[in-house]
Amino acid sequence: MSWRTLGWVLRVALVLAILYGVWCGVSYFAGRHYYRRGMAAVAASPEAAMQPLGVAVRLQPGNARYRAALGRAALAAERYPEAARHLQRAADRDPRNFGIWHDLGEAYLKANAPAEATRAYRQALAIRPEAELALEGLAEAATRAGDAKSALEPLRELWKRAPDDRTFAARLAPALIEAGKYDEALEVCEKARKGAPEVAIATLWNGQEPKGDWASWLPLLAAEGDAHRAKGRFGEAILAYQRCLMIQHEHKAALDGLAQLPPEVCRRVAGEVDVRGPRLSPNGRQVAFYGAGLQVVTLGDGTVADASVSGERVDDAQPAWSPDNKRLCYNVQGELRLVKADGSGDRALCRSEQLLPAGSLGVQGATKPGLRLGTDVDPVWSPDGRSIAFYSRADHFEGRTLIANVATGEARSEHLSKGRPPKYAATHPPAWSQDGRLLCGPLYYPKSVRAGVTLWSGAGTVKRQIGAPTDGTKLADGPRAVRRVTWSPDGKHLAMILASEAGRRHLALVPLSGKPGHVVAKDVVAHRWLDASHVWLLQATGDSYLTARLRALVCDLKGELTPAKEPFPVLLLDEWDLTKDAGQAVMAGAGFGKGLWVFDLKQLRDRAPKTAGGGQAAGDGA
């Protein structure tokens, strides 16, 4: 090559170098301009910001910062595959940039590519092992990929760093269950629940969904139930699921967990029906309830039959079974009716709109008939099945307890309430003595501030008004409303549920000898007489929705409480009923959604794990 040719080559090279330098300068400043323009617009409109950022990337394709900004704008605009593509190219240009790898993991995760997201998050953690956001992302990616074991490592690390953060516990526990580590999952749940705020006992058991952030505890409780279910501890599993339902009615994970329990311990029947007011038959084989009218479900095969299409619920009423399991007394527009369990023989309980007063033999002209008052509620069959006692009210403050002869349809009573009731007073279902000779019903006494009851003979004659100023017997200290009454087998004592102003329900024993009654247990949910001297009861306990439990106790006439031989394995929520031996429970209501849930308490007790001393591991009486 000649010197002249070489000179021309050098001149061309110099021109190109100058032009390249000019281009680099122009592209640098233009790229920075478009980058700044895009970054200014990304908050308001990520989609609009992508256009200037794309220009910046085309001007400087090797600039990792511009490429990452374009990828983040695409991520904000929910264009996840495009975001992952740009962020991946940015990471290739700047492999030591933690933020790019983290955002790449998020983009892959949202693009439903958990395997690629896991790789990106691991790269981010290799740069900054302490980054909690990357740990959370890695755990989420592994969980979505179905790799519970890979999710455990980051979740354990997060839980270790923040043991007071229940959100990490709520994510770790399900991952441990998925990996088959049930004991560790229960340990995590136990530690996390210690941070639950305390709740007043009256608020805890009022049946209402709580306010505040209690919903954030639901994943933890559901995981606890799943762990117990996997270990075969079905009683504790039901408790955990029911606690979920206390916090949030119809909680899906809780209802799904109950549905996955063995049908011999827990099952749902009448699943397409809104069950209200369930009442077990005396033999425990059928349940009557208000659904599409009055309906009866047979627990053995789950079949539902219509007893009366016109059955209508009044207030919180339940239908009443006859002692022989063959007939039902139910309500239609405030009127009580009788029907056989198979739906035949439907008729009014009281055949006439006139009610015969007590003492009348039913002979025309013997006495002047009394007028029917209005809404009839709370029917209760006599032990021999020949009579039904019920409360007939003209309004909230006035009414009377009546006794109807089932065969003749005559209703008798000589007691009519007068004036407004005592403070906190309310009607309660009548209660027959076990021999059917006496009846206990509500007491409304003018200007009285004490709760009381009225005793009648089986024919309707008033015998005594306990708690009235004229009687001198005080049911218990403090003004309380009588909610339920049961007779001792020997007819010498009454056990009463008294409701306080705060809504708490306490059990009082009242002797009929004239001595004052006394409260023997607070916060009692259910009770029954074991013999003439002992009452079995369920006491509501717990200081939060995570510890709610029913404690089974036995009380003697002196008020001394001892743990029952067998614990009570479940909660009684919403609308429920128990068999006489407390061997089976049925529940329904707003918390359970549609259907009737049946719990075999005997099976739950038999299957409960035993402690070294022979007792049950989670006994209520411990």
Q: What is the pLDDT of residue 425?
A: 42
Tens of pLDDT along 24-79? 555 666 677 778 888 888 888 888 889 888 888 887 888 888 889 989 999 999 99
For 34-99, what is the HEC assignment? HHHHHHHHHCCCHHHHHHHHHHHHHHCCCCHHHHHHHHHHHHHCCCHHHHHHHHHHHHHHCCCCHH
Q: What is the pLDDT of residue 322?
A: 97
Burial of 208 (0-12, 13-18, 19+ CB in 10 A): exposed
Cβ contact 438:432 at 8 Å? yes
Q: Please determine, for residue 426, whether its predicted confidence score (pLDDT) is greater than 60.
A: no
| Residue in 480, 354, 344, 475 with CA at minimum distance from that of residue 408 | 354
Rounded CA-CA distance 466/475 in Å is: 8
Q: What is the pLDDT of residue 340?
A: 94
CATH topology of domain 3-128: 1.25.40
- Predicted confidence band of residue 165 (pLDDT cuts 50, 70, 90): confident
How many C-alpha atoms does 140 have within 13 Å on its Cβ side? 20
Neighbours of 466 (CB within 10 A): 25
295 forms beta bridges with 289, 306
Residue 469: CB partners within 8 Å, gap ≥ 6? Answer: 445, 448, 450
Neighbours of 8 (CB within 10 A): 10
Residue 230: CB partners within 8 Å, gap ≥ 6? Answer: 177, 182
| Residue in 454, 472, 470, 474 with CA at minimum distance from that of residue 414 | 454
Burial of 467 (0-12, 13-18, 19+ CB in 10 A): buried
Q: What is the pLDDT of residue 41?
A: 83
Helix (H) or strand (E) holding 117: helix 114-127
What SS3 state is found at 545? Answer: coil
Q: What is the pLDDT of residue 56?
A: 82
Cβ contact 85:112 at 8 Å? no
Q: Please determine, for residue 599, whether its predicted confidence score (pLDDT) is greater than 70.
A: yes
Tens of pLDDT along 201-239? 888 888 888 988 899 999 999 999 999 999 999 999 999
Helix (H) or strand (E) holding 190: helix 182-193
- Terminal Cα-to-Cα distance of the chain (whole angstroms): 106
Q: What is the pLDDT of residue 445?
A: 61
Pair type for strands 399-405 and 593-600:
unpaired
Quote the mean pLDDT of the chain: 83
**Mean pLDDT calculated for residue range 75-95:** 92
Rounded CA-CA distance 318/328 in Å is: 10
Q: What is the pLDDT of residue 365?
A: 32
Burial of 396 (0-12, 13-18, 19+ CB in 10 A): exposed
Spell out a b/e string for 484-506, using b for 16 or more CB atoms within 10 Å of the CB, else e: bbbbbeeeebbbbbbbbeeebbb
**Joined tokens for residue 588:** 């329904």
- Predicted confidence band of residue 182 (pLDDT cuts 50, 70, 90): very high
Q: What is the pLDDT of residue 38?
A: 83
Rounded CA-CA distance 70/231 in Å is: 50
Q: Please determine, for residue 416, whether its predicted confidence score (pLDDT) is greater than 60.
A: no
Q: Is 214 left (phi over 0), alpha (psi -120 to 50) or beta?
A: alpha
The residues spanned by each domain of the chain are: 3-128
**Mean pLDDT calculated for residue range 266-293:** 92
Q: Higher-confidence residue: 490 or 423?
A: 490
Strands (E), 561-618: 561-563, 575-578, 584-589, 593-600
Cβ contact 283:296 at 8 Å? no
- Predicted confidence band of residue 472 (pLDDT cuts 50, 70, 90): low
